[in-house]
Structure 1
């Protein structure tokens, strides 16, 4: 039986996610409804993607009895209320990253999922790319020995995009891009909590961080450095240094298609899209959708590949980094 999806928000990332779903077996995944705060937008989205039902409110989507899981593709500040709405209606949720604006909100989402006994996962799509799965395998097999240091960079000039540059829209380099670097670190260190977090950055006039550098120290003197920016183009690569070698993601570390382990490079192909995409390699969103289906079929309430504890840890690290850089959102005082 197909996993029946509802799409919350008719924006660009929701378009790409729906296109990615179409690359999977139709008997496994079906989009049955879409909702936007403007009914016309939802109807246009539904027509473009051949979706049976369109709603002009998220509440209507939550009441649709034929939906198994909702993909939440709204802007960051709406993740918490949307997630709570759907889970309280008995729906499982795949919520775009960051899961919420801060650690307190993430914990509220996790508590809501557990109260309603539903599946919840943060849509850190990178975790499910073949490259990331191979990194996990290489680390488990000890191919580079013990991890000593991790470095990850991600940045591009994006301040012309309001949702990235405006504080009220949940903007900032750390929340939107830095989370990819930090999740890479958390993956490399097996979900271990760092002993210390040190951050410095440069803020825009809007109050969000334009560039942030985070240095983390782990047990046994192991370290990590992450740089993220919405004001400049960075190398967008990542490396894990071990006692016996290195793992390197040469480029596009947030949606990787190549990997170099101890000097040996391997390329990975992605599904072909049926429609034009808004973002690079977006058919890779299909991997996280497949993970959701696998977990639901097994009766799981979270994914071991992107666990709720990892989401909570990421939020905790970003909260501390933001505190040091001086980025404060209205949600922090609630």
Structure 2
């Protein structure tokens, strides 16, 4: 039986998520309802995908009230995540909510407790964790391919000065919440979900009081460190280097939705070998994608289906405890940089 999806918000990321669902078997996934702030937007959204049997709603309560909807994907702006996720969980729906799950640690704890109380599946939509390339990274680290991990370096930056959701505080903007969540999550994956012992961060804020550039260093046990850099002012390398005692792993750009991973072994300063692992993108979507490699969202949707069918209330690839740790790290980084949200 197909997993029956409801879609809350009909913006660009929701477009790519639904487009990815169209590449999956209709016997496994079905979008049964979409909701937006206006009925016209919801109707136009479903029409462009040719979803004739899908219901369109004005407002999100109607989506929560739809008894046919099994799981809701929330693709709205950051500041609305807590309210909409609680609305859907309270109505008995499972929830996949776009990152960042909430605006701060306080909200994150509130939502995690609410999901546990309602006994419904909840996952922060850090799709990276569900990708075949990331399963390969886990394997390479676990089998000692690069020896003991000692350092991770991650950069993520684009020129985003005209993107309101990144640049404005009332929309939950800032590079740490928008881009930094990806840099933090890969550091945490590599470090085995261990909470860093120390964080040191600096950055620049714009006139709205949100960060447009951050550099942060994190210290872990066993002499391990991680360095992350985010920017809304410049194009960065957008890759990950995982350094070990016997070699390194390079996650090629775009690292958050990677299709190529390199294992680099260096015997001497001039003698090195590079083994490349390539991963094909899911094909068969109805429309063009808006964001790079959004085909990979199909892996996330399928993972959620498998978790729900197995009766899980959280993802084994991104447990709720780790979502909370990621929120705690992001909050510490942006507060050190001077970013304070109304929700704080």
**Range into which the TM-score falls when normalised by the shorter chain:** over 0.9
Q: Distance in 1 between matches of 2:100 and 2:299?
A: 18
Preserved contact between residue 49 and residue 287 of structure 2 (Cα < 8 Å): no
Q: TM-score with structure 1 length normalisation?
A: 0.98
Distance 1:26 1:152 in 2: 37
Question: Does 1:330 find its partner at 2:332?
Answer: no
Which 4+ residue blocks in structure 1 deviate beyond 6 angstroms?
none
- Aligned position for 2:277: 266
Q: Is the 8 A contact 2:216 2:227 kept in 1?
A: yes
Q: Give the alignment of 1:199-214 within 5 angstroms.
A: 199-214=201-216
Using the alignment, how far apart are the partners of 2:43 and 2:165 within structure 1? 23
Once the 2 structures are TM-superposed, how far is the Cα of residue 274 of structure 1 from its aligned partner? 2.1
Matched residue SS, 1:5: strand
Once the two structures are superposed, what CA deviation does each residue of 1:145-201 show, in whole Å capped at 9, x if it has no partner? Answer: 111000100000011011110000011111000111110000001100100011000
User: CA offsets per residue over residues 13-38 of structure 1, 9 Å max, x none?
Assistant: 10100000011111000000000011
- 1:239-289 deviation digits (Å, cap 9, x = unpaired): 111112111112111111100013211221102332011111111111111
Q: Deviations 1:121-146 (Å, cap 9, x if unpaired)?
A: 00001111111110011111121111
Correspondence for 1:253: 255
**Is residue 287 from structure 1 mapped to residue 287 from structure 2 by the alignment?**
no
Equivalent position of 1:88 in the other structure: 90
Structure 1: distance between partners of 2:237 and 2:11: 28
1:50 CA displacement? 3.1
- 2:37 maps to 37
State the match for 2:311 in structure 1. Answer: 299
Match of residue 121 from structure 1: 123
Equivalent in the alignment of 1:313? 325
Take 2:49 and 2:96, find their aligned partners in 1: how far apart are those partners? 19
RMSD of the TM alignment (CA)?
0.8
- Does the Cα contact within 8 Å between 2:49 and 2:286 map onto a contact in 1? no
- Aligned partner of residue 212 in structure 2, secondary structure: strand
Matches within 5 A, 1:148-227: 148-227=150-229
